[in-house]
Amino acid sequence: MRYFIRRFLFFLLTLWTAVTLNFIIPRLEPGDPAEDIVRRLAGQNKPIDPAQLHAIRLMLGIPGGNIFQQYIDYLNLLFHGQFGVSYTYFPYPVTTLIGQSIMWTVGLVLTTNIIGFIAGNLLGAFAAWKRNSIFDSFVSVGLSFVGTLPYMWIALVLLFIFAFQLQLLPMGGGFSETSTRQMSWGYTLDIMQHALLPALSILITGPIGWIMGMRNNMVQTLREDYTRLAIAKGLKPWKVALLYSARNAILPNVTGFAMSLGGIMGGVVLVESIFNYPGMGRLFFEAVGNRDYPLMQTILLFTIVGMLLANLLADFVVGLLDPRVRKGKN
């Protein structure tokens, strides 16, 4: 019980630190969102009218006063579940915008994370079991090179080949403009076609971390005495690989997978922006470009809280699976 209480207290401390940093960091960005809006309305070369600037501040609810008072007001609003109004999409609340985008990101990132985690761990376990083989060499060398390629570059290559040259898949967006936007097989197929290229750009490099991590962990567990004993007893190879070696090797990846699920709120910013995918990543990209502090802070806050909760859950699960963690021996 002390282990679980200690992890929960650490979660609360980390949450408070993250909320504080989430308040401070956006305010370090130079510029004023109210001035940007006035300049867009009046023109870049015209002087700013202080009355207009004050009216925009009041309309958007931009906080005033000293930084300490702003922090107190910020915590009070968070406690009451009020995240403010978007500067970019005024007068829509940021929760409305996030509600419209989050399902697109959940469908894309959750699916790719689950596929990548399962495929990555299976391939990593097979590479470790067949270590020093041709397949293991391909995994160690080839995938290490592919893993250095950024999402953005892979997304642009896929977009150029399959959408621009071959014209097999849509250029971007979440659905066709001519679609009925009513739940049907045709609309579902249209959504899947638009999500295919973003998903491929993530899946090409996404599982590599799971593959390499599982492979290295399982190579170590294959040298443990309990694995040698299982082999000496004459157990079938698949039982030794899955029930003895892989079962212990996958424990570190459980925490990583939980954190990747927790970060689903943030989406994949560059991939969603390149494909104009209507998810959380593109919404965050627009918020940063327009200095939309309420929207930016809310997306970051949801992302941080999601990652912390997922990490807390992973600590509990690992503590239940591995008694050595609870006793402080690992």
Rounded to 5°, angle at Cα 327 from 322 and 328:
95
CA 325 – CA 314 distance, rounded (Å): 12
Share of the chain above pLDDT 70, in %: 79
For residue 217, the number of C-alpha atoms closer than 13 Å in the C-beta half-sphere is 24
Does 44 have pLDDT greater than 60?
Answer: no
Confidence (pLDDT) at 49: 64
CA 147 – CA 233 distance, rounded (Å): 39
Q: Where are the beta strands (DSSP E) in 75-234?
A: none
Q: How confident is the model over 279-305, as pLDDT tens digits?
A: 888 888 888 877 777 888 888 888 888
Least confident of 112-126, 170-184, 231-245: 170-184
Widest distance between CA atoms in the chain? 85
Confidence (pLDDT) at 61: 57
Confidence (pLDDT) at 32: 64
Two tokens, residue 115: 């596929």
Confidence (pLDDT) at 29: 66
The answer to whether the peptide bond before residue 150 is cis (omega within 30 degrees of 0) is no
Confidence (pLDDT) at 330: 46
CA 318 – CA 172 distance, rounded (Å): 40
What stretches of 28-110 show up as alpha helix (H) in DSSP? Answer: 33-42, 50-60, 67-79, 94-105
Q: Domains in the chain, start-ordered, CATH in brackets?
A: 2-79 (no CATH), 101-327 (1.10.3720.10)
**Residues forming beta bridges with residue 85, ordered by sequence position:** 93
Does 103 have pLDDT greater than 80?
Answer: yes
How does DSSP classify residue 47?
P
How does DSSP classify residue 182?
S
Global pTM reads 0.71
Two tokens, residue 327: 């006793």
Ramachandran bin of 279, using left for φ above 0, alpha for ψ from -120 to 50, beta for the remaining angles: beta
Q: How confident is the model over 209-233, as pLDDT tens digits?
A: 888 888 888 888 888 787 788 878 8
Two tokens, residue 166: 């071959």
Number of CB atoms found within 10 A of residue 311's CB: 19
CA 124 – CA 182 distance, rounded (Å): 41
CA 26 – CA 30 distance, rounded (Å): 9
Least confident of 21-25, 223-227, 254-258: 254-258
Q: How confident is the model over 166-190, as pLDDT tens digits?
A: 888 888 777 777 666 667 777 788 8
Does 133 have pLDDT greater than 70?
Answer: yes
DSSP sequence for 239-297: HIIIIIIIHHHTHHHHHHHHHHHHGGGG--HHHHHHTT--SHHHHHHHHHHTT-HHHHH
Does 41 have pLDDT greater than 80?
Answer: no
User: Amino acid identity of 147?
Assistant: G
Least confident of 15-29, 91-105, 116-130, 210-224: 15-29
Q: Is the dihedral of CA 292, 151, 276, 279 positive or negative?
A: negative
User: Please, what is the angle between helix 208-221 and helix 111-129, to 10°?
Assistant: 40
